[in-house]
Structures are given as structure tokens and as C-alpha cells.
């Protein structure tokens, strides 16, 4: 009901949606995976093919009979995927915790406004969250079998499929592959060492981890071969700069942004404007410069950019020189403090971007209603994060090293992003839900290898 409510009141649109739609449309109608229209379509690799392929398939199936609203069929499938992901997490919690923990997990998953909202937006986030939930469930089932002295090959295949889906949707999906591979190997060795000895246990762990990795990486092969044949580059995922080979890359500007960006406001008012709109000096926080000389140089750079709204190679090199000066002066701030602030902001900021709320949500005098809603959303978000963190600290999370390792890998990567957005942490919520249920339930039980009562419904 919550997700259908979000479909009835559409979510904000996003420029990324238009990119995915264009890639899928051009592939379907012109046989070219690229951007542009008409006779001006150029091949591209700046977006992974998973979501455009899904959009192309649904356009082929529904666009003729539902020409103006076929995208709704995609959103309905996303709603089903989000609900199914909650059932998978509940099955995992029932296996490793208790029936009550499964009920709590299911409630946290079904009533989460953040994952529910993105099921009504044509972006990769919803299916990425589902991939994480499927990966957790399947890896947990495989490791439960290992603990019982058996092998569940089907579960390993499903875990590999989940990781493949995650990587075909977003490049950061590789973090799920790494975390599950490490968890499957280490936990299987731990479970088998007493019966097999260290050497045989390690060989056994490598064997089942290899099955998982083969399934996870195989679907990337066609994409990798296509990129090599088309662009002569080895690119199994997507370039960090979201530029195609040969396109100009503004590395200097990106590094300059990394010397001061720390919150979503910087992304909305500065990062998204670069290359198309002028930069308002009032949107730059005081931490942009450390001295009067840096302030003068920064103002000159912004003024030169605003005249053309274009970043030339000469201007980019000047930004790079300023960034290098700032990094040399404050390396700890650049390499540690700012990444921590970015990850914290993305994790805890009210997710205003999916609810038509002002980015300056705290300005009560301008929009008291929006501020109240933002505070409520922020408290809900904080509840998920805080309770999950407490469960990890108390050691109550099942397969805690694997799930916690995924969170740490994701936070470490997000700390290096110069344009922080809260939606980048949405894939953490499946782990939060299981961990919070473990904290609220407080009971644990031995993992079992036989199916739980919830699994026939999932199958």
C-alpha cells in the first residue's frame, strides 16, 4: 500500500532517468548502445547496461499498447522487487535469529519510506537494493548449509546472480561481490576447519567461492568485450568520470571539489551546475579557501568560469593547481576528515531529494511544513542507522563480518565521491534492517541448512 501510494503521487524526476531511457531506446530502435537521437547517436559506456536493457525490454513489451505510460510497468515491477527483497531479508532473519526477528525485519522493510519511495522512481536504486537483499539471503543460505556440513550450490548460484545484477546496474555493485566473496570464503573455512583441517578447509572455501565468483562475473564478459571492441579499453564496469574515451575529463575541477565538498547542499548548488550554469559565490562555504590569497584565486577562477560556463583545459589546470596547494597544506583534512564528513552526511541527512523537500530543509521560517517533514524523515533514518550500529557493536548481527564489511567498503568508497548524494547509501538499508531486527529481538539461534517456512512463498 505504501509503495502504491508513492506510485499514485509520482516521485521527483532525475536527469539520470533520461540517460537510461535514451540508452535503452537507442539500443531497441537503432541497435546502438549510446546517447543522442536521429542520425546523431554515438556509442557510449558511461552507464552500465543493466537498467537500460530492462527499460528497452519493457518498452518493447508495453509501449505499443500503453504509449504514454509504459514506464509505469517498470515501476510496478520495482514495487514487486522491493517487497520481495523484504521477504528475502525476513527469511534470512528467521534462519539466523528467530521468528520474531523475521517479523521485525519484514516490518522494517515494508514500512521504510526511503526504499519505498525509490520503487516509484525510474532509477537503479530500487533494483540495487533488491540485489543486496537477494545476495544476503542466498549467501546466508549457502553458509548455513556449510555449517551443517553440506553444500548448497543453488544458493551459491543465486548469490552470484545477485552480485551480477548489482554490478550490471551500478559500478559500486562490485562492493557486494567483494563482500560476499570474502564472507563465503572465510565463513566456510571457519565452519569446515574442525572436520577437514586447515589446508582442506581452505581449498574447500576457495572452491565454493570460485563457484560464486564465476556466476557473478560471467554476465560482465559481454559488456567488457563490447567495450574493448568499441573503445579499445578494458572496462568491465563503467568509468568513474562518466565520460566516454576521448571525451575531456575535468580532473582538476573534480580534485578541487574534493578539497571542500562535504554535504548534499554543495552537490545541489555547485557540483550539478558546473559545465552548464553559473556558480553563485554565496553558495561556496568558508572552507573553500584557507587564506586571503586562496580566496582571491578562487574568486578569479569562479569569475572566469561564469563568463563562459565552460571548463577549458587551461581553467581546469588552474583548478588543479589550487587543489594541489590545498592538499599539501591540509593532507589530513583531504584524506580523512572530508571523506568521513561526506559519508556521514550521506548516511544521516534527511532524504529530501525523493520527497519534494527543499535542500535547505532546516530553514523553518521559509517552509515550516517541509522542515517538519524533513525532521521526521531524518529521525526515521537515524533510527535505522543507530539501532543497526548498536547491534553491530554488541555483536548481535548474524554473519556480522560479511555484512559489516559491506557497509565499511561502501562508506570508504562514498567518502571519495566529490558530489555526495544521500541516495548513494540506500543500498545499505538491507543490512540496517537485519541488524536493527537483531537488536530489537535480542535472541539468536544456530543456523540450519533446511528451508524455512517462509521460503516456499519466496520460491
Identify the bridge partners of residue 40 per DSSP, sorted by sequence position: 37
Grid cell, residue 18, equals 533520461
Q: What backbone torsions phi and psi does residue 41 show, to the nearest 5 degrees?
A: -115, 125
CA dist., res. 289 & res. 282, Å (int): 13
Q: What is the pLDDT of residues 305-330, one digit of tens each?
A: 999 888 889 999 999 999 999 999 99
Per the CB < 8 A criterion, the answer to whether 164 and 220 are in contact is: yes
Which residue do the cell numbers 554476465 mark? 219
Rounded alpha-carbon distances, angstroms, from residue 458 to 79, 81, 97, 144, 427: 15, 11, 18, 18, 21
What's the pLDDT band for 458 if we cut at 50, 70, 90? Answer: very low
Q: What is the pLDDT of residues 238-257, one digit of tens each?
A: 887 777 787 778 889 999 99
Nearest to 131 by CA among 185, 54, 62, 72: 54
What's the pLDDT band for 442 if we cut at 50, 70, 90? Answer: low
pLDDT of residue 449: 39
Residue 447 has pLDDT above 70, yes or no: no
Q: What is the mean pLDDT of residues 425-441?
A: 96
Give the alpha-carbon dihedral of 399, 403, 405, 410, to 10 degrees: 180
DSSP letter (8 states) at residue 36: E
What is this structure's pTM? 0.92
Domain residue ranges in the chain: 70-241+251-459
**What residues contact residue 237 under an 8 Å CB cut-off, 6+ apart?**
48, 167, 171, 174, 220
Instruction: Report the percent of the chain where pLDDT is more than 70.
Output: 96
Nearest to 49 by CA among 30, 29, 34, 62: 34
Residue 443 has pLDDT above 60, yes or no: no
Q: What is the mean pLDDT of residues 131-145?
A: 97
Highest mean pLDDT among 156-165, 268-277, 416-425: 156-165
Q: What is the mean pLDDT of residues 422-440?
A: 96
Question: Where would I find the H helices in 97-152?
Answer: 99-110, 113-118, 125-147
Q: What is the mean pLDDT of residues 417-446?
A: 87
pLDDT of residue 182: 96
Amino acid at each position: 500500500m505504501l509503495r502504491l501510494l508513492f506510485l499514485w503521487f509520482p516521485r521527483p524526476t532525475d536527469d539520470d532517468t533520461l540517460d537510461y531511457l535514451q540508452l535503452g531506446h537507442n539500443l531497441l530502435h537503432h541497435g546502438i548502445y549510446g546517447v543522442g537521437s536521429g542520425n546523431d547517436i554515438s556509442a557510449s559506456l558511461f552507464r552500465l547496461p543493466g537498467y537500460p536493457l530492462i527499460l528497452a525490454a519493457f518498452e518493447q513489451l508495453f509501449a505499443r499498447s500503453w504509449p504514454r505510460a509504459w514506464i509505469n510497468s517498470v515501476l510496478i515491477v520495482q514495487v514487486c522487487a522491493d517487497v520481495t527483497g523484504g521477504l528475502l531479508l525476513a527469511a534470512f532473519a528467521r534462519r539466523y535469529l528467530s521468528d520474531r526477528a523475521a517479523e521485525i525485519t519484514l516490518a522494517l522493510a515494508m514500512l521504510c519510506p526511503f526504499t519505498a519511495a525509490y520503487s516509484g522512481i525510474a532509477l537503479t536504486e530500487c533494483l540495487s537494493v533488491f540485489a543486496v537483499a537477494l545476495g544476503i539471503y542466498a549467501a546466508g543460505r549457502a553458509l548455513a548449509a556449510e555449517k551443517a556440513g553440506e553444500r548448497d550450490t543453488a544458493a551459491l548460484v543465486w548469490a552470484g546472480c545477485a552480485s551480477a545484477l548489482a554490478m550490471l546496474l551500478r559500478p559500486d555493485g562490485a562492493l557486494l561481490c567483494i563482500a560476499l566473496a570474502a564472507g563465503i570464503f572465510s565463513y566456510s573455512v571457519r565452519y569446515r576447519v574442525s572436520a577437514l583441517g586447515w589446508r582442506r578447509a581452505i581449498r574447500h572455501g576457495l572452491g565454493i567461492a570460485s563457484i560464486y565468483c564465476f556466476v557473478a562475473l560471467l554476465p560482465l564478459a559481454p559488456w567488457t568485450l563490447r567495450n574493448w571492441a568499441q573503445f579499445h579499453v578494458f572496462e568491465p564496469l563503467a568509468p568513474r568520470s562518466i565520460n566516454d574515451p576521448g571525451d575531456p575529463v575535468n580532473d582538476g575541477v573534480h580534485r578541487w571539489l574534493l578539497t571542500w565538498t562535504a554535504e548534499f547542499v554543495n552537490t545541489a548548488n555547485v557540483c550539478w551546475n558546473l559545465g552548464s550554469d553559473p556558480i553563485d559565490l554565496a553558495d561556496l562555504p568558508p572552507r573553500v579557501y584557507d587564506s586571503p590569497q586562496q580566496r582571491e584565486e578562487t574568486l578569479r577562477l569562479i569569475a572566469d568560469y561564469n563568463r563562459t560556463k565552460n571548463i577549458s583545459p587551461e581553467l581546469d589546470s588552474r583548478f588543479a593547481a589550487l587543489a594541489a596547494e590545498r592538499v599539501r597544506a591540509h593532507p589530513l583534512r583531504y584524506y580523512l576528515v572530508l571523506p568521513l564528513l561526506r559519508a556521514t552526511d550521506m548516511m544521516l541527512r534527511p532524504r529530501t531529494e525523493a520527497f519534494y523537500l527543499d535542500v535547505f530543509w532546516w530553514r523553518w521560517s521559509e517552509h515550516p511544513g517541509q522542515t517538519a517533514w524533513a525532521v521526521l524523515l531524518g529521525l526515521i533514518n537515524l533510527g535505522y542507522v543507530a539501532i543497526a550500529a548498536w547491534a553491530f557493536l554488541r555483536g548481535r548481527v548474524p554473519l556480522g563480518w560479511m555484512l559489516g564489511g559491506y557497509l565499511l567498503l561502501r562508506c570508504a568508497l562514498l567518502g571519495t565521491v566529490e558530489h555526495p548524494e544521500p541516495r548513494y547509501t540506500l543500498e545499505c538499508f538491507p543490512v540496517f534492517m537485519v541488524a536493527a531486527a537483531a537488536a530489537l529481538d535480542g535472541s539468536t539461534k544456530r543456523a540450519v541448512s533446511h528451508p524455512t517456512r517462509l521460503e516456499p512463498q519466496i520460491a
